[in-house]
Amino acid sequence: MKHKFLCGVRSPVWVLTVLRRKCCSTIEKIWNSCCSVLVLNILQRSFVDTDPLESFITSISITLMPSDPNKNSFDPRFLRPSATFPDHVLAEIHRAADQGVYEIRGFGAKRSIPTFDDLVFLGASMSRYPLEGYREKCSTDVVIGNRFAENPLHLEIPITIAGMSFGALGANAKESIGRAASEMGTSTTTGDGGMTDEERNSSKTLIYQVLPSRYGLNPVDVRRADALEVVVGQGAKPGGGGMLLGQKITDRVAAMRNLPTGIDQRSACRHPDWTGPDDLEIKLHELREITDYKIPILIKIGATRVEFDVALAVKAGADAIVLDGMQGGTAATQDVFIEHVGIPTLPAVRIAVDALLEMDMHRKVQLIVSGGIRSGADAAKALALGADAVSIGSAAMVALGCNRPIYIEDYHKIGTAPGFCHHCHTGRCPVGITTQLPELEARLKTKQGARWLRNYLATMVLELQTLARACGKSHVLNLEPEDLVALTVEAAAMARVPLAGTSWIPGQ
C-alpha cells in the first residue's frame, strides 16, 4: 500500500512548506523542537492508516531525507560511494547479469598502476654539465638486430610503431602510420592478419609479425619484410590470443586471413609448431634460412615472468626483444585480461635489463619497450633504465585522432564520449581509425593522419633530446639509471632507483 502522505515528498523544505500550509502552528512548534523523523512519524500515525511493517520502512526512508531543512541537498552520508563497488563495477555486474558473457573492449588498462610518471630526472647543475640545446648535438639513432642479421635496422629515432593488425586498424590508418614512420626514419610493424600493399609501399622499414594464428603469413611477404617479429605474447593479454569481432571482418580482411566474412575470429594463444624454447630455436633457424640470414628476428613478449622469458628469448637466438607491459593497448581483448594479467612496464624494463646484463647481452640483443609510452619523457625514462628503443601503439592512434572531440554524435551512438572511448572492437570508430566501414574510414585522410603522427613523433624526439641534454648526454642512449630518482617507494623498488631525497633503494 502506498503511503498517502509521503507520496511525492521531495525535501524537508518542501515538507515544512506543506506542513505550514496544511497544519496548525502547533505542528510547526513540534517541528522546531523535534527532528524531522519524529514529526513525520507522528504525522504518519495520526493521518495515515498503515500496517506496522510499512510504517517502520517508511520511517527508515524518511531518515534518507536531507537532515538540514534549509539545505535542498541530500545528506552526504547517504550518498557515500563504495570503494568496493564504484559505479563502473556496479554497471559491469549489471551488464554481466543481463548478458552472461565477459566484456571485450579495446584500448589498454584503465586502472591506476605505477608508471614512468613516478620517476623524475636529476638534471645537471654543479656536479654534472648540461648540454647546450642550440649548439651541442644530442644524437638519437639506434641499430636494432645486429646480433646475427646481415642487415640490421638502422633507425634515426629510438621510437618505433608497434604491431597493429590490418583488420583492427583500417587501411588508411595503416598507410598514415607507414608514411609518418618513414618520414621520421623509424620502423612500423604489421600485425595479426598480414601485410597490406598500402602498408608495405608506404613504410620504408616494415617489421612483419609471425603470430600464433599465422593469419596472413606467407613466404612472399616474409621476403618483403625488413625484419620479422615472432610474437609470443602481448602486454594487454599475456597468455591470450587475438580477437577480431565479426563486424570488422570484411571480405578483404577475411580473404587475407583465409577465414569467412562476418564471423568473430579468435586467434590461437600459442604457436602451433613449437612448445618450448628449444623448438623456438629451431623455428628461428628456419626463418633465418628463408630470409638468407639477412634480416633481424625479434621476439615479442608480454611482461609477466620477464627474467626467464628474456633469458629464453636470448637463448633461442633473438636479435632483439620487444617487451610489452600490462598497459599495452589492444583492439579487442577481454577486460578481465587487460586489467588483471601481466606486470606494468616500469618494473618490466628493469628486470629485462638486469637479465640481459647477467648474460652480458645488454646492448647486444636490443630491448624495445612498449606499453603506456606517451611522451618523450616516458621514452627517456625507459632508455635511462636500459631500453634501446620504445614502441608506441595507443599513442600513435591518439595522434591520428583517437578520442578527439569530433563527430561527438557518433561516439554517443556507440555508448561513449570523447576521452572515454575504448570501442575499437565495435568497428564503428567515430574518427575512422579502427574501422573497416568505408564511410567511417574516409574520415581519416592519410595525408592528414601522417602529418599528425609525424608531428607527434617529432615532438617526442625533441622532448627526449631536451631531457637527455639536461642530463649532459650527447646521445639519448647514454641516459642511465643514475639520472633518475623515484617519487614513490613502489616506483623506487620497481625501477631500482633511489627514492627522491634519499639514497634508499627499497630491497637493496
Of 212, 216, 235, 472, the one binding ligand FMN by CB under 6 A: 235
Neighbours of 459 (CB within 10 A): 13
Distance between CA atoms of 459 and 479, rounded to whole angstroms? Answer: 19
Site for ligand SF4 in 431-450 (CB under 6 A): 431, 433-434
Distance between CA atoms of 496 and 181, rounded to whole angstroms? Answer: 33
Q: Are strands 205-210 and 484-486 parallel, antiparallel or unpaired?
A: unpaired
Site for ligand FMN in 289-328 (CB under 6 A): 300, 324, 327-328
Min separation Cβ 191 and ligand SF4, Å: 14
Q: Which is nearer to ligand SF4, 365 or 392 (CB)?
A: 392
Residues in binding contact with ligand SF4, number by CB under 6 A = 14
Contact present, 495 and 481 (Cβ < 8 Å): yes
**Residue 403 interacts with, from ligand SF4, ligand FMN, none (CB under 5-8 Å by kind):** ligand SF4
The residues, any chain, with a CB within 8 Å of residue 485's CB and separated by 6 or more, are 119, 120, 122, 492, 497, 498, 499, 500, 501
Distance between CA atoms of 324 and 309, rounded to whole angstroms? Answer: 12
Q: Which is nearer to ligand FMN, 119 or 338 (CB)?
A: 338
Min separation Cβ 434 and ligand SF4, Å: 4
Stretch that binds ligand SF4, among 282-290, 364-372, 396-404, 444-452 (CB under 6 A): 396-404
Min separation Cβ 202 and ligand FMN, Å: 18
**Site for ligand SF4 contains 403 (CB under 6 A):** yes
CA distances from 343 to 101, 120, 339, 494 (A): 25, 21, 10, 11
**Site for ligand FMN contains 373 (CB under 6 A):** yes
**Site for ligand SF4 contains 429 (CB under 6 A):** yes
Amino acid found at 412 = H
Residues in binding contact with ligand FMN, number by CB under 6 A = 31
**Site for ligand FMN contains 423 (CB under 6 A):** no
**Residue 429 interacts with, from ligand SF4, ligand FMN, none (CB under 5-8 Å by kind):** ligand SF4
Which among 74, 77, 52, 53 has a CA at the least distance from the CA of 65?
74
Min separation Cβ 443 and ligand SF4, Å: 10
Distance between CA atoms of 189 and 166, rounded to whole angstroms? Answer: 10
**Residue 168 interacts with, from ligand FMN, ligand SF4, none (CB under 5-8 Å by kind):** ligand FMN
CA distances from 207 to 175, 227, 252, 299 (A): 14, 5, 21, 11
Grid cell of 279 as nine digits = 623448438
**Site for ligand FMN contains 240 (CB under 6 A):** no
Min separation Cβ 345 and ligand SF4, Å: 20
Reading phi first (left if > 0) and then psi (alpha if -120 to 50, else beta), residue 372 is in left
Distance between CA atoms of 102 and 114, rounded to whole angstroms? Answer: 26
Distance between CA atoms of 481 and 369, rounded to whole angstroms? Answer: 16
**Residue 422 interacts with, from ligand SF4, ligand FMN, none (CB under 5-8 Å by kind):** ligand SF4
Q: Which is nearer to ligand SF4, 188 or 434 (CB)?
A: 434
**Residue 399 interacts with, from ligand FMN, ligand SF4, none (CB under 5-8 Å by kind):** none
Grid cell of 63 as nine digits = 531518515
Of 423, 454, 469, 473, the one binding ligand SF4 by CB under 6 A: 423
CB burial of residue 201 (10 Å; 0-12, 13-18, 19+): exposed
**Site for ligand SF4 contains 393 (CB under 6 A):** no
Min separation Cβ 253 and ligand SF4, Å: 16
Which residue ranges make up the site for ligand FMN (CB under 6 A)? Answer: 108, 162-165, 168-169, 191-192, 209, 231, 234-235, 300, 324, 327-331, 370-373, 392-395, 397, 424, 434
